[in-house]
Amino acid sequence: MDKLELKSAFAADDTGAIAGNAWVFDTPDRIGDIIEKGAFTFPARLPILFAHDPAEPVGVWDDITETRTGLSVRGRLLVDDVARAREVRALVQAGAITGLSIGFTVKNATGRKGGGRNIKSLELAEISLVTVPMHPKARVTSAKSASDLLAITDAINRAALAFRTQGN
C-alpha cells in the first residue's frame, strides 16, 4: 500500500481566488526531502483541503503548473457556497493560515546522505491550506492583510529548522 505524504506559498482575495507556490525546487523540506523538477504527476484539478482533512474541502485548484522554480497553483475557495471556505479565507487574509502543503504518493525516490530523500516521481493527491507547512519556503504570496504576519512565518520556519538541525 502506498503511503500518502504531506508537504509545501499562497494568498486569497475577497472573491476566494487563491494562488501560491505549493513546492519550491532545490531546497529540502523540514525532514530533508527534495522533490526533483519533473517529478509531479497530477490530474487537471485537485481539491483544496483545509489541514489535509478530506472532510474539509474548501475549494478547487484550477491551474497547477510546474515552473523552473517549483509547483505554482491557482484556484478558488468556494466562498459563495461553502461556509468553511469563508472562514478559511478570513484566516488567510488575517495571516493565521500562511502555508500550503501537498499530499502525495511517492512513486520513485532515493535516500540522501544526511537524511531525507530525492523524490524523482510522485502522484499528487491534494494541496491543503495549513498553518505551518512542511516546506520552509511555502508561504502566502498575495493575501491582503497578511503581509505583516510573514515575519512571524519566517521566525517559525527558522525555529523549526534550528530544532531539526540540533537533533542531528
Has 135 been annotated as catalytic?
no
Q: Which one of 36, 52, 87, 142 is the catalytic residue?
A: 52
Distance CA(108)–CA(74), nearest Å, equals: 27
Q: Which one of 5, 101, 128, 135 is the catalytic residue?
A: 101
Has 5 been annotated as catalytic?
no
Has 101 been annotated as catalytic?
yes
CB 95 within 8 A of CB 149: yes
- Determine phi and psi for 141, rounding to 5 degrees: -105, -25
The x, y and z cell numbers of residue 2, run together, are: 502506498
Burial of 167 (0-12, 13-18, 19+ CB in 10 A): exposed
Q: Which one of 5, 8, 72, 126 is the catalytic residue?
A: 126
User: Which residues participate in catalysis according to the annotation?
Assistant: 52, 101, 126
